[in-house]
Chains A and B, each alone.
Chain A
Amino acid sequence: MALEEGEDRGDRRFTTAARDLLGGTRERLGSGGDGDAIMGYLFCLPNVAVFSLFLLGPVLYAFWISFQQWSILQNSGTWVGLSNYAEVLTPLPVTAEGLNLVVFTDPSANLFWWSLKTTLVYAIGTVPLQIYGGLAVALMLDTRVRFKKAYRAAYFMPVMLSGAASAVMWRWFLSADGVVNNLLPTFLEHNWAGNPSYALGGVMLMAIWGGIGSNMIFFLAGLQNIPQELYEAARIDGASAWHRFRHVTWPNLGNTNLFVIVMAVISAFQVFGIALVFSEGGPYYATTTTVLLIYQRAFEEGKMGVGAAMAFILFLIIFAFSYYQYRHHQSGEIEY
């Protein structure tokens, strides 16, 4: 960011110089600061309109809806205070009598806590493998490998797939008599989509498959930006390959790392389409993630208020995580 501000200043200095050179021309042409201002607002207007109508406004509207009992027929709500939040959150995992962890293990106790646990398991199981799988591939392809472009294309192919298409494909490959079981040794064969213990594993496998390619691209771009002199200097000081990675590559990938982690976690917490198409939240709620639950409550059962309340709780969790990551990253930033 510091660099960018520098450019900004340079750019402005350049413009000012040009204006000095032009003397009064600008005034005469009537395109001075005021003209700039009007055109500037005019040019930004479509985006401001779309963002306030479809992004910022709706966030406030969603907050309001979460306190309403919504009637689909009249498309209006009646104020019910916090009762939507109460419906979503009770029974709480922590009560006066102590911990009540059954909400995490039994979907019939409270589906929201169960779905949060499912989402968390999904995030913990997929995010590290997507990110560090991507980093590993990027490091391997950043060396002098032949057919680099073909390899890169191969790893990138799953990224371009629609979630719906990929879920339908993997449902077939992972079915009881599908291709994957055919290749696996007998003791690893599972009915991936039909067994509550393994269905989430199937979704995670598919997500890891689709997530490595984009992270690989981010890390390849990050690796390109590391000055080669740093490696030269490290070599002269006798650093081994591991030390060059640990003390040159890794610290220099800090920004890429932050971005990749935040994006991967945000999208993991919002996993929806692949879980819906793969197994429709089942079997026995095994793949009911939080956004899938929101979808079912709001759009299948018409409980918009309850859906909005759940969405807001999830929003707070995502926001808290991103903020923590950002602060944590700032404290560990390096300066040269």
Chain B
Amino acid sequence: MDGGRSAVGSPTEPRRGRRGGSLMARSSYEYPGYERSGASYWTKTTLLYAVVTLGALWMTLPFWWTITTSLSQNPTAASVSFIPEAVTIQHFVTLWERPDIMLVRWFLNTMIFAGAVTTFNLAFDSLAGYALAKLDFVGRDKLFLLFMSTMMIPGMVTLIPVYLLLVELGWVNTYQGLIAPLIANPFGIFLLRQHFKSLPSALGDAAKIDGCNEFQTFYKVYLPMAKPALATLGIFTFMGAWNNFQWPLIIAGEQNMYTLPIALFAVRNQYFAEWGLMMAAALIIVAPVLIAFLAAQNYFIRGMSLSGMKG
């Protein structure tokens, strides 16, 4: 838990754990009998790098194949393996021009969906996280436990009843239907509660003496200090919604409400064996997330490792 708390800080600040800075762990080679030379050392090192590199190739080659296939005139296994032959952007042009492929609309749908889900999550989760960390009220800890226990409910149990509820409301095939069930998330509450708990309560007391009410204390004093945690949660939530398949598949039945993953599934059924076209479509979904990841790697990794600190 302690590691979780200190890790909520800005990803750019040096890690405060034992391995950061001058407290760097002593590697094996600083002990007698583990010198950095000799046949055994070189064998081990070579083996280590070979295994790690092979694994990394396995992880990244599919991305490369996707790019080469999308750029090949007539993709075959041999022509896309490493360097593409006959490079062309024709598949992207086709995606853009086919009247039944509403690329811009689907892209906008996905942006609206992911953007709204993220905004609501940040607002609601920071309110609840703050209350559960800094305010004193009867049943607070029970409420927190209740929030956390909802994490154990498998998504597929609620799928049918939530769908039927939205049918009743007439929200099928609408943005509100797409967004509403996803606007709160127990993981976000947990993350922000931990972060608010790590901030001193004296700040709030000082703000109140200066005349802030409870909401102003939250909004003007504590919320700005939670920016790193909010950024982590925001990126993570956005990515989750961007990639979400199950919920949009069920609620967005009509073409003009598709999000990109659903559209990819529909396009796949229609243009089955046109692999160049398919890979170009896949790349359109993958590229934004991948670019964002390479630009803000630390936030992504921090978000992932924090989601593992719940227990």
Stretch in contact with the other chain, from A94-102, A121-129, A175-183: A175-183
Asked if A157 contacts B60 (CB within 8 A), the reply is yes
Asked if B138 contacts A37 (CB within 8 A), the reply is yes
A65 contact from B80, B160, B244, B304, Cβ within 8 A: B160
Does A41 reach chain B (CB closer than 8 Å)?
yes
Asked if B214 contacts A35 (CB within 8 A), the reply is yes
Q: Give the nearest-CB partner of A19 in chain B.
A: B205
Stretch in contact with the other chain, from A85-93, A108-116, A195-203, A314-322: A314-322
Known: A51-B147, A151-B56, A214-B304. A168 touches B264 (CB 8 A): yes
Report the tally of A-B residue pairs with Cβ distances under 8 A: 312
Interface residues in A269-300 by Cβ distance below 8 A to B read 269-270, 272-273, 276-277, 291, 294-295, 298-299
Asked if A44 contacts B128 (CB within 8 A), the reply is yes
Does B202 reach chain A (CB closer than 8 Å)?
yes
A225 contact from B17, B147, B159, Cβ within 8 A: B17
Asked if B189 contacts A47 (CB within 8 A), the reply is yes
B15 contact from A65, A177, A224, A235, Cβ within 8 A: A224
Instruction: Flag A154-173 by CB within 8 Å of B: 1 or 0 each.
Output: 11111111111100111111
A39 contact from B15, B48, B135, Cβ within 8 A: B135
Q: Complex formed: what's the CA distance from A269 to B77 in Å?
A: 33
Chain A residue contacts of B59, Cβ below 8 A: 154-155, 157-158, 209, 212-213
Asked if B127 contacts A44 (CB within 8 A), the reply is yes
Asked if A25 contacts B209 (CB within 8 A), the reply is yes
Interface residues in A47-71 by Cβ distance below 8 A to B read 47-48, 50-51, 53-59, 61-62, 65, 70
Chain B residue contacts of A170, Cβ below 8 A: 62
CB distance from B88 to the nearest CB of A (A): 17
Q: Complex formed: what's the CA distance from A8 to B18 in Å?
A: 24
Asked if B18 contacts A227 (CB within 8 A), the reply is yes
A164 contact from B125, B167, B261, Cβ within 8 A: B261
Asked if B77 contacts A178 (CB within 8 A), the reply is yes
Interface size class, chain B: 35 or more
Q: Complex formed: what's the CA distance from A6 to B155 in Å?
A: 34
Asked if A22 contacts B308 (CB within 8 A), the reply is no
- Overall SS of chain B's interface: helix
Interface size class, chain A: 35 or more
Q: Give the nearest-CB partner of B206 in chain A.
A: A18
Does A149 reach chain B (CB closer than 8 Å)?
yes
Does B176 reach chain A (CB closer than 8 Å)?
no
CB distance from B51 to the nearest CB of A (A): 7
Q: Complex formed: what's the CA distance from A39 to B18 in Å?
A: 39
A259 contact from B52, B153, B286, B310, Cβ within 8 A: B310
Asked if A256 contacts B155 (CB within 8 A), the reply is no
Q: Complex formed: what's the CA distance from A22 to B210 in Å?
A: 13
Chain B residue contacts of A4, Cβ below 8 A: 1
Does B119 reach chain A (CB closer than 8 Å)?
no
Q: Complex formed: what's the CA distance from A295 to B208 in Å?
A: 53
Chain B residue contacts of A182, Cβ below 8 A: 77-78, 81
Does A104 reach chain B (CB closer than 8 Å)?
no
Does B106 reach chain A (CB closer than 8 Å)?
no
Asked if B308 contacts A217 (CB within 8 A), the reply is yes
B184 contact from A14, A46, A183, Cβ within 8 A: A46
B156 contact from A8, A70, A218, A311, Cβ within 8 A: A311
Q: Complex formed: what's the CA distance from A61 to B135 in Å?
A: 33
CB distance from A87 to the nearest CB of B (A): 16
Asked if A165 contacts B131 (CB within 8 A), the reply is no
CB distance from B183 to the nearest CB of A (A): 6
Interface residues in B145-176 by Cβ distance below 8 A to A read 147, 150, 152-165, 167-168
Instruction: Flag A235-250 by CB within 8 Å of B: 1 or 0 each.
Output: 1000001000000000
CB distance from A176 to the nearest CB of B (A): 10
A interface vs B, CB < 8 Å?
Answer: 1, 3-4, 7-8, 11, 14-15, 18-19, 22, 25-26, 29, 31, 33, 35-37, 39-41, 43-44, 46-48, 50-51, 53-59, 61-62, 65, 70, 75, 137, 140-141, 143-145, 149, 151-165, 168-173, 177-179, 181-183, 209, 212-214, 217-218, 220-222, 224-225, 227-228, 231-232, 235, 241, 255-256, 258-260, 266, 269-270, 272-273, 276-277, 291, 294-295, 298-299, 304, 307-308, 311-312, 314-315, 318-319, 322
B interface vs A, CB < 8 Å?
Answer: 1-3, 5, 7, 15, 17-19, 23, 25-28, 31, 48-49, 51-52, 55-56, 58-60, 62-63, 65-66, 69, 76-78, 80-81, 123-125, 127-128, 130-132, 135-138, 140, 143, 147, 150, 152-165, 167-168, 180-181, 183-184, 186, 189, 197, 200-202, 205, 208-209, 211, 213-215, 218, 239, 242-246, 249-250, 260-262, 264-265, 268, 275, 278-279, 281-282, 285-286, 289-290, 293-294, 297, 300-301, 304-305, 308-311
